[in-house]
Structure 1
Amino acid sequence: MMVAGIGSRKGATARDVRAAIETALEAHGLAMTALSALATGEVKRNEQAIFLAGRDLNLPVLVVTDDALQAASSGTISQSELSQAHAGTPSVSEASALAAVGKGAKLLGPRIVLGPVTCAIAISGDAP
């Protein structure tokens, strides 16, 4: 399983979200078809751009509970004071990707930041 975790500022567009996902995948030499889902934290539940991007890409958007986000936070690489203050995690994108993948998840690298959107890719422990 491979999940793109998404964090965003208010006002981000679906185009912004798709561009961040594409940039993150390219950074790891991956194609969009490798993704199983998008994920974000409960704090981003009302950010329509994330859900529109999921629809455009024909991928489900998994909303990670606050508890699951907190539990996955110890595995994040990036440290954002803004994210910590607003969402209680050092990186919404990284923690949501890890939480959505579940036990044995690992990040392919730190989140990428593209304009108002962050994206991190996590894979299951049994993925190549």
Structure 2
Amino acid sequence: MIAAGFGFRAAATTASLRDALDLARARTGAGPTLVALATAADKAGAAPLCALAQALGLPIHAVDTARLTAQHTPTRSHASQAAHGTGSVAEAAALAAAGPEARIVAPRVISGDGMATCALAEGKDP
């Protein structure tokens, strides 16, 4: 089970998110099958993310602050740590959505326009 986690700025577009996702999937080679998108709860209803989820036919997991900050992320962004309490919102959201014992399979990548980040995590199938 693969979850795609996202961090993004308010000005991000659906194209920003798609670009970040495509870059993350390219890191895994074959491009694993996604089962969900995930982000911080306060951004889960953002129009660009909702549009991407609809286009992909995937649910969005809204990850609350406690679950975000409980994740250990390989990326240690000082800005993300200060603003969100985690080294990477994208990685933390992906790990939380992928479930217990999840691992990062594609660390955070940044979209070409710098507006979005995406990371992929793999969890055990239920």
TM-score, length-normalised on structure 1?
Answer: 0.88
Query: Between Structure 1 and Structure 2, which shows a larger proportion of helix residues?
Result: 1
For structure 1, the 5+ residue unaligned runs are: none
Specify the code of the residue in structure 2 equivalent to 1:101.
Answer: A
Q: Which amino acid aligns with 2:11?
A: G
SS at match of 1:38: strand
| C-alpha RMSD over aligned residues | 1.5
Q: Does 1:97 align with 2:125?
A: no
Q: Percent identity of the aligned residues?
A: 39
> How much has 1:88 moved relative to structure 2?
1.4
**Secondary structure in 2 aligned to 1:110?**
strand
What displacement does 1:46 show? 4.3
Q: What are the residue-to-residue correspondences of 1:38-53 with 2, within 5 Å?
A: 38-53=37-52
What amino acid sits opposite 2:59 in the alignment?
P
Report deviation, 1:44. Answer: 1.9
C-alpha separation between the residues in 1 aligned to 2:20 and 2:42? 19
Tell me the equivalent position of 1:116: 115
CA deviation string 1:4-31 (max 9, x = no partner): 1000011100111011111110111133
Does the residue aligned with 2:107 lie in a helix, a strand or coil?
coil
Is the Cα–Cα contact under 8 Å of residues 99 and 124 in structure 2 kept in the other structure?
A: no
Answer yes or no: is the 8 Å Cα contact 1:43–1:87 preserved in 2.
Answer: no
CA distance in 2, matches of 1:112, 1:38: 15
Instruction: Provide the TM-score with structure 2 as the length reference.
Output: 0.90
**Greater strand share, 1 or 2?**
2
**What number of residue pairs does the alignment pair up?**
123
Alignment of 1:35-114 (within 5 A): 35-72=34-71, 74=72, 76-114=73-111
CA distance in 2: counterparts of 1:50 and 1:109, whole angstroms: 19
Q: Which runs of 5+ in 2 are unaligned?
A: none
Runs (4 or more) in structure 1 with deviation over 3 Å come to: none
